[in-house]
Amino acid sequence: MRNVGIIGIGYTPVFVSKRKDVNIPEMISEAVDNAFANTGLTAADIDAVVFGNMQTFEGVNLPHLWAADYIASLGKPVMRIATGGTTGMSAFHAGYYHITSGLHDVVMVVTYEKQSEGDSQVGLMGIITPELMAMLSAGIDVTGGSGMGAIGGGSAGGISFQASSYLHHSGAGIEHIDAQAALERRNAAKNPYAHLKDPEATAEKIAQTPMVSWPIRFGHICPTSDGATVAILASEKAAAKIADKVAWVHAVANCASDATTANLIESQITDPAEQMPAIIASRQAYERAGIKDPKREIDYVEIYNGFAHQALMYLEKVGMCEVGEAHKLQEAGELEMSGRMPVNASGGVVSTNAIGTSAMNRVTECALQILGRAGEHQVEKEVHKALAHGWGGLMQYVTITILGDKPKKG
Amino acid sequence: MMEETRIVQGTWDISTFKFRIEGVGLRRMLENMKEGKLVGTKCHQCGMVYLPGPFYCRKCHIEINEPAEVSDHGEIMTFTIGYADVRGNPLEEPRIAPVVKMDGCDSWIMGVLQGVKPEEVHVGMRVKVQWAENLTGSLQDMQYFVPE
């Protein structure tokens, strides 16, 4: 396997609720241009393109082909990836495979979501439509008043079962979810590419937002954002010629499980807070990266948390701390940008969620921390190795990427 | 801090979708609910009991078709409390929605819990099914859960 590094990153100038001034390809091209401007590369340097966005959200079936000339892919291999919330990191992994396999030397990974042009709730409903139809025919009460009709609406409804179980098993309280949301919205205020920013956010302020589905409050939930992110990857040989500073890929891994809460028709066999895929994928990634003690060797973590509690839950699942310890680290201030285990200095997905980019941004934000180019949200400690986590599907799919400041040995 | 938006409009013609996924396990469960019984499907290899059941064991990946009656008593594995109906209107009383593992069953089912205050519900709480007066072989037969 050949070493692969991130040699360039591009973002749209902003991640916001509605980009009314551009259409989908125009918005994507802003991130492509930004990546070219940051690296001095041009379309001629790119061997192949991987494209990722969430299926169904904008109702555009072939965005990678609509945008072909906007993503510098004319006459080049193109592959679209869609795995749900994890799409951005799956696309990144595909870019990695393109190069580590020896097929290509320089690959551009393009991810986007323009949620203002679609309806993400309809998109999410589409995920469970067949099961819902079957349950309706079996007499389910769609208003949720009785029988097995207590369906939580969309992602927030399902996720509340996860949060509830997580709180029970970890000993954390809803106040820790409030505090995590506040911490990340404060971090977001320092990130020019974040969406919901609040430099004055506090747990008390978050606690005043309406309860949506216990224990999840409005303030715990990600926004829907418009934005695009691009990463340019290169082989070690190509990087030596065309890049100055590189964040190196040390390992990629992914793992799936069963559909948990959303599997109405064949029943649920897994606790949505168990998250076995996160445990399996992170352990595989550590092995591939030669990491023996992640708590000591990983300096920085970006967790995909569409909902604030997930930052705490996944820190435990990926082995950055023991079960029941994450909220204690939070209380001690260790998860802050100045702490010993900084997490989501970017503001996390809970602050910015253009879904196709969300798992990708976990990787690019880890890269910026390693390169020392995160600007105002650069963490205080030195970052040599970082872990990026992606989450999606029907609760049951996790992607992991480990980056380092030096090429991986062996 | 942030603008809260809520839009509810339009119609969605769900009859457009024609899925064929009425499972053998769900059919068996509904048939037995007419007798006020919960019958799932057991894997003859690993012993896993599903309610309702798939036609294959999701762990062993082999075909299964052995009926297994499970108790109508069980334990809350996780839960949420809803404050609005599906149209987003506030509910008069918060609605408790537990996910319950019935005794003798390995999978979990969702439902509604009544007869308990929201602040009293907890993971591990014992509950039982409140059956409807007239059983018709519909998921509505299992009206809601109540504390044991």
B100-103: Cβ within 8 A, 24+ apart: B100/B74, B100/B75, B100/B76, B100/B127, B100/B145, B101/B74, B101/B75, B101/B77, B102/B38, B102/B51, B102/B70, B102/B71, B102/B72, B102/B73, B102/B74, B103/B70, B103/B71, B103/B73, B103/B74, B103/B75
Whether the per-residue pLDDT at A60 is higher than 90: the answer is no
User: For A129, which residue in chain B has the nearest alpha carbon?
Assistant: B17
Q: Do A211 and B140 touch (CB under 8 A)?
A: no
Best of A267, A270, A395, A396 to disrupt the B interface (most B CBs within 10 Å) is: A267
Chain A: give the shortest CA distance to residue B116, in Å.
Answer: 15
Instruction: Check: CB of residue A400 under 8 Å from CB of residue A251.
Output: yes
List, in sequence order, every residue forming a beta bridge with B81; answer none if it has no partner.
B96
pLDDT-derived band at A152, boundaries 50, 70, 90: very low
Lowest mean pLDDT among A55-59, A128-132, B7-11, B138-142: A128-132
- Closest-approach residue (CA) in chain B for A222: B2
Chosen for mutation from B110, B120, B141, B143 (greatest number of chain A CBs closer than 10 Å) is B110
Q: Are A116 and A353 in contact (CB under 8 A)?
A: no
Q: Does the model's pTM come out above 0.95?
A: no
Give tens-digit pLDDT for A22-53: 999 999 999 999 999 999 999 999 999 999 99
* Cross-chain residue pair B19–A223, CB shorter than 8 Å: no
Residues 53-82 of B with CB under 8 A from A: 53-54, 58-59, 77-82
Q: Do B79 and A213 touch (CB under 8 A)?
A: no
Interface subset of B 11-40, CB within 8 angstroms of A: 12, 14, 17, 19, 21-23, 25-26, 30, 40
| Sequence-ordered strand ranges (E) for A154-269 | 211-213, 216-217, 226-235, 247-256
**Alpha-carbon gap, residue A93 to B131, rounded angstroms:** 50
Euclidean distance between CA atoms A201 and A186, whole angstroms: 6
- Strand ranges (DSSP E) for A140-269? 211-213, 216-217, 226-235, 247-256
Q: Which domains does chain A have, with CATH numbers?
A: 4-118+223-404 (3.40.47.10)
| Confidence bin at A143 (pLDDT 50/70/90) | low
Of A156-165, A292-301, A358-367, the least confident = A156-165
Interchain CB contacts (distance < 8 Å): A and B? 160
> Nearest Cβ partner of A135 from B48, B139, B144?
B139
Which chain B residues touch A137 with a CB distance below 8 Å?
Answer: 22
Hey, which residues 79-118 in chain B have their CB within 8 Å of chain A?
79-86, 94-95, 97, 99, 106-112, 118
Q: How high is the pLDDT of residue A157?
A: 66
Q: Which helix (H) or strand (E) holds B87?
A: none
> Which residues have CB under 8 Å from A317's CB, separation 6+?
A275, A278, A279, A282
Domains along the sequence of chain B with CATH:
20-147 (2.40.50.140)
B44: closest CA of chain A, how far (Å): 17
Model confidence over A211-255: pLDDT tens digits? 888 999 999 999 999 999 999 999 999 999 999 999 999 999 999
Report residue A310 as tokens: 């997930």
State the average pLDDT over residues A349-365.
Answer: 98
CA–CA separation, A114 and A227 (whole Å): 6
Tell me the nearest-neighbour CA distance from B5 into chain A, angstroms: 11
Residue of A nearest to B41 (CA): A266
Q: What is the pLDDT of residues A249-287, one digit of tens each?
A: 999 999 998 876 656 667 788 888 999 999 999 999 999
Contact A353, A226 (CB under 8 A): no
Secondary structure (DSSP) of A359-377: HHHHHHHHHHHHHT--GGG
- E strands within A257-396? 300-302, 385-392
Tokens of A246: 């590189």
C-alpha distance from B106 to closest chain A C-alpha (Å): 7
Q: Band of the pLDDT at A372, cuts 50, 70, 90?
A: very high
Position A177, amino acid = I
Question: A351: helix, coil or strand?
Answer: helix
| Closest A-chain CA to B118 | A214
Nearest to A267 among B79, B109, B143 (CB): B109
Residue A60, token pair as written in the block: 């555009």
- Is the CB of A139 less than 8 angstroms away from the CB of B30? yes
Side chain identity at A263, as an amino acid letter?
Answer: N
B69/chain A closest Cα distance in angstroms: 15
Whether B46 has its CB under 8 Å from any CB of chain A: the answer is no
